Amino acid sequence: MALRTPPSWLQNGSHPAENDRLTATGSLWNSAGICDYGDLIVAPTGTPSMAVTIAAGKCIILGSQTSTQGFYIAYNDAAYTATISTANASLGRIDLIVVTVQDAFYGGTANNQVLFQVITGTPASTPVAPSAPSNSLILAQVLVAAAVTSITSGAITDTRVIASLADVNITATNVASNSLAVNTVASQTGKAIRVNNSAGTQVFAVSPAGLVTFPDGTTQNTSSVYNPNLTVNTQTGLTYTMNVTDAQKLVTFNNAAVQTVTIASNATQALPAGTQIQVAQLGAGQVTFVGATTPAVVTINATPGLKLRTQYSAATLVQISTDNWILIGDLTA
C-alpha cells in the first residue's frame, strides 16, 4: 500500500500499528535518538562491578527491517542494570549497550517487546565494535579490557544522539503566543530561524538569505567572512571629527602641521559605551584631542594630557559612558 492515512481517523477497516508509526514519522520525527539530554545515559554501577546502569528516560527508535517501518517510542521509568560478560583473560573487546524493539510482525522474533541488550564483542588485539541488532538505538560502547573485573567510567563511550524533529514549521507557545518560532530549519530552500521574546517581539533572526538580525537591530550577512584586522581610516587634514564609522577602527593622522581631533557629542554621533577607536600619529604634526561642547559637553580623561607624544605615537579612545571618554596610550600634556 503506497498511500496511507492515520488509522484512528478512519471509522472502519484494519488499523495496522505500522500506520500509526508512519504518522509519527511524517509529522513528528526526522531521526532516531534520545528525547532529552539525560535520557538513558550509561554509567558504572555505584559499587564496582561487571555491570552498567542505564538511566530512566525516553527514546525514539527507527525500525530498520523495512523502509516503511517508521519510528518506535520507548520509555524507561527507572534505572536499569545491564550485566557485562566476563572479560577475556588476554584480549580486550568492545560491547554495545543498545535498546531494541522486537516486532513479530516483521519476522525474526516471536516477541513484541522493547528491551535493553548488551551486544558482546569479539576479543581481539585491536577490538572493534559488533553490529547492533535490527531496530536498535546504540546508547554506549563499553571497552572490556583483558582480565578486568569491573567497568569504570573511562571504559564507557557515550554514543547517544538527540532525536530530531521532522522538517516542519514549529511554533512553541505558552501564555504569550509566538514566543519561539523555528521555521522549517533543514536543507531545503526558504528556511529561516526566528527567536521571539515572551511578548512576541523578534529579538534574533536568520533570514532565508542568511542575514542575521541581532537584538539591537543591527544585521550581519553570514556569507561574509569575519576579518579580525583593523580597517584604517587615513586623515591628512588639519582637523577631524570622529564619527560612528570609526568605531573599532584605526584612524591615522599624517600632516606636518598640528592636527586637532574632536570627539563629537553622542547626540550627534551615537556610539555605545565600550566603543574603542585606535589612533596613531604618522606625521610630524602633533595630534591634539578635544571634546565637543555642543549639543552636549564631551569629557576626555587622560594622563598626562590629551596629545600624542610624538611621531608614531599611538593611543586608544574608549567611551566609558555617554559623552565620557578615556584616552590611553603614548601621550603628553
In a domain, 279, yes or no: yes
Judge if 266 and 283 occupy the same domain.
yes
Judge if 40 and 174 occupy the same domain.
no
Looking at 119, 135, 164, the residue that finishes a domain is 164
User: Which domain CATH number covers 154?
Assistant: 2.60.40
In a domain, 7, yes or no: no
Judge if 30 and 111 occupy the same domain.
yes
In a domain, 135, yes or no: yes
User: C-alpha distances in angstroms, 60 versus 31, 169, 179?
Assistant: 8, 20, 27
In a domain, 4, yes or no: no
In a domain, 1, yes or no: no
Judge if 155 and 171 occupy the same domain.
no
Judge if 147 and 48 occupy the same domain.
yes
Categorize the per-residue pLDDT at 20 as very low, low, confident or very high, splitting at 50, 70 and 90. Answer: confident
pLDDT at residue 36 in the model: 84
| pLDDT tens digit sequence for 140-190 | 999 999 999 999 999 999 999 888 776 554 444 444 444 445 544 444 444
Least confident span in 100-114, 169-183, 281-295, 306-320: 169-183
| pLDDT tens digit sequence for 59-81 | 999 999 998 898 999 999 999 99
pLDDT score of 226 more than 70: no
| pLDDT tens digit sequence for 115-139 | 999 999 999 999 999 999 999 999 9
Percent of the chain with pLDDT over 70: 82
Categorize the per-residue pLDDT at 229 as very low, low, confident or very high, splitting at 50, 70 and 90. Answer: confident
pLDDT score of 1 more than 60: no
Retrieve residue 190's grid coordinates.
526558504
In a domain, 317, yes or no: yes
Least confident span in 34-38, 84-88, 101-105, 302-306: 34-38
Judge if 213 and 265 occupy the same domain.
no
The answer to whether residues 50 and 32 touch, using CB atoms and an 8 Å cutoff, is no
pLDDT at residue 224 in the model: 55
In a domain, 190, yes or no: yes
pLDDT at residue 174 in the model: 41
Judge if 138 and 270 occupy the same domain.
no
> Based on the structure, what is the number of domains in the chain?
3
Whether the model clears a pTM of 0.85, i.e. scores above it, the answer is no
Judge if 20 and 160 occupy the same domain.
yes
Half-sphere exposure of 3 (CA within 13 A, CB side): 0
Average pLDDT of every residue of the chain = 85
- Work out the number of other CB atoms within 10 angstroms of the CB of residue 252: 18
| pLDDT tens digit sequence for 190-214 | 456 777 776 667 777 777 667 787 7
Looking at 221, 240, 266, the residue that finishes a domain is 221
User: Which domain CATH number covers 301?
Assistant: 2.60.120.640
The answer to whether residues 277 and 240 touch, using CB atoms and an 8 Å cutoff, is no
Looking at 143, 164, 185, the residue that finishes a domain is 164
pLDDT at residue 284 in the model: 96
Judge if 42 and 176 occupy the same domain.
no
Categorize the per-residue pLDDT at 222 as very low, low, confident or very high, splitting at 50, 70 and 90. Answer: low
Which carries the bigger pLDDT value, residue 321 or residue 225? 321
* Strand arrangement of the beta sheet that strand 57-62 belongs to: 33-34, 57-62, 71-76
pLDDT at residue 306 in the model: 97
Judge if 191 and 119 occupy the same domain.
no
The answer to whether residues 108 and 65 touch, using CB atoms and an 8 Å cutoff, is yes
Q: Give the closest residue to 258 by CA, choosing from 277, 243, 279, 240.
A: 240
Which carries the bigger pLDDT value, residue 3 or residue 331? 331
pLDDT at residue 211 in the model: 76
Which domain covers residue 303, as residue numbers?
Answer: 232-332
In a domain, 305, yes or no: yes
Judge if 132 and 149 occupy the same domain.
yes
Judge if 41 and 115 occupy the same domain.
yes
